[in-house]
Structure formats: C-alpha cells, structure tokens
Amino acid sequence: MNKIIILAGLFSFTLSTPLLAEQKGIMFEYGYMRMNMQDMLSNTDILTASDITSMMVDPNKYMMAPTTMSMDMHMLMGMVDLTPKLGVMFMLPYRLSTMSMETAMGDSANMESSGLGDVAISTTYQVNDEITGHFEISVPTGSIDSQGEMMGSTMRLPYAMQLGSGTYDLKPKIEYITYLEDFTVGLNANYVFHLGDNEAGYHWGNKAFLEARASRNVTNSLIATLKTNYQRWGSIKGADSMIMQVDMMSGKNTSPVANPSHYGGASSEVNFELSYIVANSQTVGLDMTYPVYQNLWGPQMKQTLSFGFGYQASF
C-alpha cells in the first residue's frame, strides 16, 4: 500500500492509495478555510456580551464585547522534491476577518481586516516509511498595525484581528504513520515557538499540538479520514500600547479582545475529511472541524464549526 500526503487548506493528512504512488517532483495546491466563533468562554463557562458589559466602572466588566467572529483564509502552496526523501514547501496566505461587537447599551458595531498573512517556508524529511520530520519558519509579512472604524473612531484593531504575528516563528513537527489492514493510522506532534517580541512590543504564546487520525479507502478514488487533536497555547506576552485596553476618559475596560491575557487556553477537536482523486495527478478535499472541549483563559471567543476545501495537483 502506498501513501500520499494531501495538504488541503490548513489541514494535512496522510492517505493510502495506489493511484498516486509514482508521483514525484512538484506539487501545487489551493486551500480555503472558514473558522467561526460565537459568544465567549471563561474557562469552560459560557458567557454572552450582556454578561460582561456594563456602563459602570467595574474591573470585571467591559464597555463592549464580541458576539461573533469569522476568519476566511485562502492559501497558495507549492512543494518541490529535492531528493526522494527531502522536500521544500512554501505557503502564501491571504486572510479576511470580521468581528461583531455589542456595547453595554445594546448597540452593535462591526470591524474588518484583510490582507496578506505570514508567509511560511518549510522542509520535509522522510526518515523511513513510518516517520517524517517537518521544520517550518514563518516570516512576519502579515500586518500587526491594521486599523478600523469602531464607534465613530479610527483605532488599531485588537490582536485577533491583526493579520500576522509580527515575529519569526519556528514550527517543528514529527509524524508517525503505519498501516493496519484497511486503515492508515497516524500520530503527529508539533510546537510553535514565537521568537522574541514584535515591533509593537508583544509576542503570541507558544502552542503545543498533538493529533491522532485514521484513514480508509472507501473506493479506489475516495478516502475518508477521522482525526482528533488536543492543543494548548499561552496568552500573549507584552502588549501593544496602541490597542486600547482602558478608555482614558472613563477608566472603563474597553473589550476582552483588547486584553492580551485573554488569549491562552486549551481545546480538543474532532475532524472529518473526504478526499477524492479526480485523476492520477489531481485531488480535491473537503474538511469539517468541531471543537468538543474548550477551556479558555477568558473571557475569550468560543470556536464553533469550521470547514475547508482544497485542490491539489502534482507534476
């Protein structure tokens, strides 16, 4: 049984299929991902905007709070095999984010950001038939000073709405794959290191990620994959002085998304994917992800259903 690695959108999964066994050389892919958030969590407690907003000065309340957020990510990726075991890859992302806010008086407002994200360059080395190592570096090409209109004023958008991390990030990953009769099963672990503070004076918390998955050929052309993961990440360290945490006029907290301490947490997700081999050198994939556990250092926005699509061509 032969393996193929498909990188559809933000997800990657290893499948088994005889049709693409001999494909080597160059791979190109377009990926799309949509992530949705609604309401908030403080640890595991669900909160709405009305629970944490107040017109009074209160250290535990805010002038406004997010109600929904969506992020659309478009990615162009390419990979070249330098040797039968070693490959290099790049990823060029474009991101569009929208967030709806609700004030203590019940008024609503929206903010939006869009543009190039952080470009990534990575290498992949296949140690043997079961173990593959990856090492990625992301370059801070995404903006960290995006601005938008909020309540009649132009201001720097909160951290979640910025397009990049502003730092060089290292992302080592190790992957294990084996075959059990009709199934391909795998484990992978990766970690994200953010190197130093960015120009605005902060860096995102490091992130650990562990995933298990199983794939099966439904037909010679259709492959189904089920995955589950656990991830844990730290809060933002430092702060951007241009992102207003406290209103200077009233002394009130502005919003939880402006507080860098409200960005850490842990979660576990279940993911289902289908990939279809259109031809010997072309594959399409669909992906859906749902969080089954979230413990967020909030108030912090709660993730809901996410989905993705990918198209891959090999030459």
Q: What is the CATH number of the domain that holds 181?
A: 2.40.128.130
Q: Which pLDDT score, from 0 to 100, does residue 60 have?
A: 79
Q: Which pLDDT score, from 0 to 100, does residue 13 have?
A: 38
What does the pLDDT average to over 175-182? 91
CA atoms within 13 A on the CB side of 91: 25
Number of CB atoms found within 10 A of residue 147's CB: 14
Decide: helix, strand or coil at residue 176. Answer: strand
Residue 24: band (very low, low, confident or very high) from pLDDT cuts 50, 70, 90: low
What does the pLDDT average to over 119-139? 95
**Which of 42, 260, 265, 65 lies closest to 162 in space, CA to CA?**
260
Q: Which pLDDT score, from 0 to 100, does residue 9 have?
A: 34
pTM: 0.88
Q: Which pLDDT score, from 0 to 100, does residue 154 have?
A: 86
pLDDT score of 23 more than 50? no
pLDDT score of 20 more than 70? no
pLDDT score of 14 more than 70? no
Per-residue b/e over 23-47, b at no fewer than 16 CB within 10 Å? beeebebebbbebebbbbbbeeeeb
Q: Which pLDDT score, from 0 to 100, does residue 151 have?
A: 66
CA dist 140 and 204 (Å) reads 12
pLDDT score of 8 more than 50? no
Burial class (CB in 10 A: 0-12, 13-18, 19+), 204: buried
Number of domains making up the chain: 1
Determine the structural domain holding residue 90 and report its residue range.
3-314
Residue 96: band (very low, low, confident or very high) from pLDDT cuts 50, 70, 90: very high
Q: Which pLDDT score, from 0 to 100, does residue 231 have?
A: 98
pLDDT score of 105 more than 90? no
What does the pLDDT average to over 190-196? 96
What does the pLDDT average to over 250-267? 92
**Structure-token pair, residue 266:** 């842990």
Q: Which pLDDT score, from 0 to 100, does residue 55 have?
A: 76
CA dist 315 and 244 (Å) reads 50
Residue 223: band (very low, low, confident or very high) from pLDDT cuts 50, 70, 90: very high
